[in-house]
Every structure is written in C-alpha cells, then in structure tokens.
Amino acid sequence: MFFGGMPGGMPGGFPGGGGGMGGPPKNVDTEKLYETLGVKKDASKKDIRKAYMKLSRTHHPDKGGDEHKFKEISAAYEILSDAEKRTQYDKYGLEGVSGDDVGAAGGEDLFSMFFGGGRSRGGPRKAPSISHPLKVSLEDLYNGKTVKLAVNRKVIVGDSSECSDCHGRGSVMEMRQVGPGMIAQSQRPCHSCDGKGYHATFKKERKVLEVLIEKGMKDGERIKFSGMSDEVPKMEPGDIVFVVQEKDHGLFKRKGADLLAVKEVSLNQALCGFTWKIKHLDARDLVIKSKPGEIIKPEMNTKDALPFVKKLPGEGMPSKGNPFVKGDLYVMFRVKFPDTLPENVVSELRKLLPEPDETVEYDPMEVEEVHLTSADVRSFGKGGVNSVGSEAHESDDEDDGGRPVQCQQS
Ligand SMILES: [Zn+2]
C-alpha cells in the first residue's frame, strides 16, 4: 500500500535548470543520497530500485522503522530514480533538486532532511547581522550629519572547505539506545570544526563606513549597511546595522517631532513677565518673551492639575524625509513662590492685586482663630491613633479589644 505513493511517476521535472546558478559550486555534497541507499555512484537504475525496495521494507514506520530514516530513503530514491534529477544532483548536490516537485519529502526541506538545520530554498543563506548602538546628540538629529566609522570585519583568505565530519552542518547526530528497541537521537556541536560547519582562514579588514544621520531620525532607528558584516563561507555576509540612540539633552526632551523645555519662573515673572534666552539645536539664539499682561500659572486648571504649558509652533524637530515640516517647541512652566513676604510688600500687593481678602465679621473673643502648619498630602488618611506604628505588630492584648470602636447608629 505504501508503494502507492511511490515517487517514480511524479509529474513535473527539474524546474528550469536551477535559476541563475553559475556553474557547479565547490564542495557540494553529491554522495549523501547514494550513501542513504547504500549504492555506488555509478549504480544502475535497477540496482537503485532494488536497494530502495529492500531498505523501504525494513525501515517502513508501519514495521517499526524510523520515520525520518524512511523519508530520507524515499527522497533519495525519488531523486536518483529520475534521470534528470539524478544528473542535477550529481552536478549541484541537493541544491540542484530542491524544487517544490520533490514529493517524498512530505513538505520537509531536503536540506534539513539530510543535514538538519534550516537552509531556505533558493539562494545562499545569509549570515547573521551585527548591530551597533550609535549614540547621537539631539543637535545632530536636528541638523543631520555624516559620521565616518571604522569597522573591523573578518574576510576569508583563500578557499574555504566544508567540514567533512558534519557535512557543513556544524552539528552531528548521536544515536543512543535508551531501552529495548528504542533509540534516542541527539544533536551535539561538531568537534572538528567547532560547530562552524567549515574550515577557513580569516583576516581582519578595516573598512570605513559613512553613516548618514538624516534630519529628524529617531531613537531606535536603524541604518543598514548590506553585506558589510563578517564573511562566512557559503553564506551571503550579514549586514552591519547601526541603531540610533538619542543622547539626553540638557534643555530639551523629545517626543516624536515635538520638543519640551522646562522653565522655572518666579512669582514676579509669572505675574509681571519674563524674558528667556535659549540656544536652539541649530545654534540659533532665541529670546522667548511673555506678552504684556500674560500670566504664567502654576497649573493648567485646578481640576486635572495638568502642567501649565505654552508652545512655539514650528520650533520642534524636523520630520524625517521632510525636514521642512517641523514639530512644536513646548515650554512647561514651574512657578516658584516666595516662602514669606515682608509686611510692607504684602500691604502694597493687597492694594494692587485683584480680588483681595474679604472682611469677615466675627468676634475674636467668641470664635477660635487658628493657623495652618506644613503638611504633606501623602500623609493624608494616616491621621488618628491607629496610624501610630501601624506597620509594626500591635500588642496582642485582647483585654480591651484594641479595635476601633464602631459607630453605633440608633
Ligand atoms: Zn564539522
């Protein structure tokens, strides 16, 4: 019954000669499939079929065989029994036949099937990219800049060769009997090549990269140099990626394209006006001046207690890609009140400022006159006798109850 799915009659052939493959690559494995079927490289079609029939019988999962091994055998037969695929395999190895029409693999990638690991179909694998943090000042993100950075990359000297012990996998499978009729397979790094899968000599190469920091770039943005990372045999080199890290600025905080500066003003400045000279990120001096009669308040409104802010439209950061569109510059105010005022100042202010204290009629001999003391709002709710030492264990004296007396309603 399982022969029904035999690959001999698979429709379709090798897809178009391997798409842009320029000549037979070096060090390609063209033996593995023959080894899998236990036949010689020059075996006849008949010998291959015979070997396959024998092996598939012993390794069929229904008869207690290993499923993976069975799939390998089936895939090997599928390729070697097809004259066209066999020719491609002899020339290019598995890469030459890893088309989608190889059915016996049951959806598994041929490479991972025979060699483990994940080689994506079509084109060489790409080596991992390396990313470097790149600290950039807010000034440079505002104005844009080109930074020259030297990197040391590893390049291959001469030819590299695939490790013959692990066939380039970097790891080998170890079989171990764990019980009667039970075999456990485990992977360990290949000792002969230190898990790299190849033997090669490298040298360091110094390369100067020009990193363009565009106006308006943001923290976390990536600047990529394709293929500039270390060379790895049989792989496309990875990228070097610089990740922008915005440095803290002494005056401005940034959110998107907007900037925020905090300004502390005295009560006098808050009421009577202020003049504030700042240096902008493009080194321009800006004098921020309040308009006549303009008041700076401690808070936006008393209900939400939002900070009091004003803004300079268009004085924020340039937008990346369109530096002419800029964000806004927000100024958040903190009003510094005096701790006390001399009596003569108070009497003058009382006359000058709107809404002075109203006269309240009362007899000081009959009504208690009180003053406030300093307090912290975080202590609110902690008053009363129960708060004293509430964190420590109270005495276990149960005689007098010790609990707060509940209000009895009648
Ligand atoms: Zn190896």
Identify the CATH number of the domain in which residue 47 sits.
Answer: 1.10.287.110
C-alpha distances out from residue 274 to 183, 288, 307, Å: 83, 8, 18
- The answer on pLDDT for 103 being more than 90 is no
Q: Do 85 and 112 belong to one domain?
A: yes
Ligand 1 centroid–CA 66 distance in Å is: 25
- Given its phi and psi angles, is residue 216 left (phi above 0), alpha (psi -120 to 50 degrees) or beta? left
Do 226 and 193 belong to one domain?
yes
pLDDT band for 257, please (50, 70, 90 cuts): very high
Residue 172 included in any domain: yes
Average pLDDT of the chain to the nearest whole number: 81
CATH for 287: 2.60.260.20
Q: How confident is the model at residue 260 (pLDDT cuts 50, 70, 90)?
A: very high
pLDDT grade for 116, boundaries at 50, 70 and 90: low
CA of 187 relative to ligand 1 center, distance in Å: 12
In a domain, 280, yes or no: yes
For residue 116, the CA-to-ligand 1 centroid distance in Å is: 13
Cα–Cα–Cα angle for 68, 72, 77, rounded to 5 degrees: 150
d(CA 49, CA 44): 9
For residue 324, give its domain range: 252-336
Give the residue from 291, 310, 336 where a domain finishes.
336
Residue 375 falls within a domain, yes or no? no
Q: Count structural domains, the chain.
A: 3
Please tell me the predicted confidence (pLDDT) of residue 11.
36
| Between 401 and 147, residue with greater pLDDT | 147
Q: According to the model, what pLDDT value does residue 119 have?
A: 44
CA 162 to ligand 1 centroid distance, Å: 8
Within-domain flag for 395? no
Q: How far is the CA of 232 from the centre of ligand 1 (A)?
A: 14
pLDDT band at 115 (very low <50, low <70, confident <90, very high): low
- pLDDT tens digit sequence for 24-75: 455 677 888 898 899 998 899 899 999 988 888 888 877 777 777 888 888 8
Q: Are 193 and 199 in contact (CB under 8 A)?
A: yes
Q: State the distance from the centre of ligand 1 to the C-alpha of 193, rounded, in angstroms.
A: 4
Both 242 and 260 in one domain: the answer is: no
pLDDT computed for residue 184 by the predictor = 84
